Amino acid sequence: MIIVSDTSPINYLILIGQIDLLPQLFEQIIIPQAVYNELSDSLAPLPVQTWTVDTPSWLKIQPVSQPTDEISNLLDPGESEAIILAQELNADLLILDDMKARRIAKERGLVITGILGILDQATSMKLINLPNAVQSLNNTSFWASDSLFQKLLDKHC
């Protein structure tokens, strides 16, 4: 399977101590250079910056081969490049959270999930304690509606 990720899911999985879910669920994750740049930026949270110093073998950084298109005016560089890379690679899945980016990815025929989808799948495989993971996520700057969190919790608890 070809899995491409944007910055946000990786960022928050690092912050909640669940980054190892990605290789458990998908074996390999591909990110464009812009996503790596955002993760390693001096404005990124320190644990995220530290993680990027020695990236794991399951993370592959791959530049996009075509220039970004009109979406580069609508989205940040990581989101734009992740969508374009997913299209170039004919990815099986694109992991991103931003609502505008998700809408554009769907319009382009890409299959998407986000961090809540990752937590859902990990819970189904009994890899995490969902209430603890949701609580940890709520302690970060990640935002999702309370009803979305509750729907996920109700599904598993």
Ordered DSSP codes for 20-35 = THHHHHHS-EEE-HHH
The low-confidence residues of the chain, meaning pLDDT below 50, are none
**Which residue in this structure is represented by tokens 């320190």?**
46
| Furthest CA-CA distance within the chain | 45
> Backbone phi, then psi, for 77, in 5-degree steps?
-55, -40
pTM of the model: 0.95
Confidence (pLDDT) at 68: 67
Confidence (pLDDT) at 11: 98
> Backbone phi, then psi, for 110, in 5-degree steps?
-85, 145
